[in-house]
């Protein structure tokens, strides 16, 4: 549930930023992965989350790869769930 929450939070910020910039997202899919590993305190914890969003845009105005990366970066910085956990979050977008 934690991994899904991080993924959903990232997606919602991505969609909001993209819309604010005038882009129309047709589809957004992610297959997030979480890694349950022994933590520094000796117990098991989610230490890493990897997001792999696949985004398809429609309409006349479509972002280039650099703009998509900036939107992901903005979503990453603003996601309050990511900011609330100690696990690292990596975004592998294409």
Structural domain spans, the chain: 2-91
13-19 long-range Cβ contacts below 8 angstroms, 24+ apart: 13/74, 13/75, 13/78, 13/79, 14/53, 14/55, 14/71, 14/72, 14/74, 14/75, 17/71, 17/74, 17/75, 17/78, 18/55, 18/57, 18/63, 18/71
Lookup: tokens for 15: 């969609």
Q: What is the CATH number of domain 2-91?
A: 3.30.300.20
Q: Tens of pLDDT along 15-54?
A: 999 999 999 999 999 999 999 999 888 899 999 999 999 9
Kindly tell me if the per-residue pLDDT of 93 is higher than 90. Answer: no
Rounded CA gap, 78 and 60, in Å? 27
pLDDT, position 15: 98
pLDDT, position 67: 97
């Amino acid at each position: 549930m934690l991994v899904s929450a991080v993924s959903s939070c990232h997606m919602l910020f991505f969609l909001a930023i993209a819309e604010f910039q005038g882009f129309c997202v047709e589809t957004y899919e992610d297959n997030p992965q979480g890694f349950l590993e022994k933590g520094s305190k000796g117990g098991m914890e989610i230490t890493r989350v990897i997001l792999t969003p696949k985004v398809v845009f429609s309409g006349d105005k479509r972002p280039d790869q650099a703009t998509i990366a900036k939107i992901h970066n903005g979503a990453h910085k603003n996601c309050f769930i990511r900011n609330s956990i100690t696990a690292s979050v990596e975004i592998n977008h294409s």
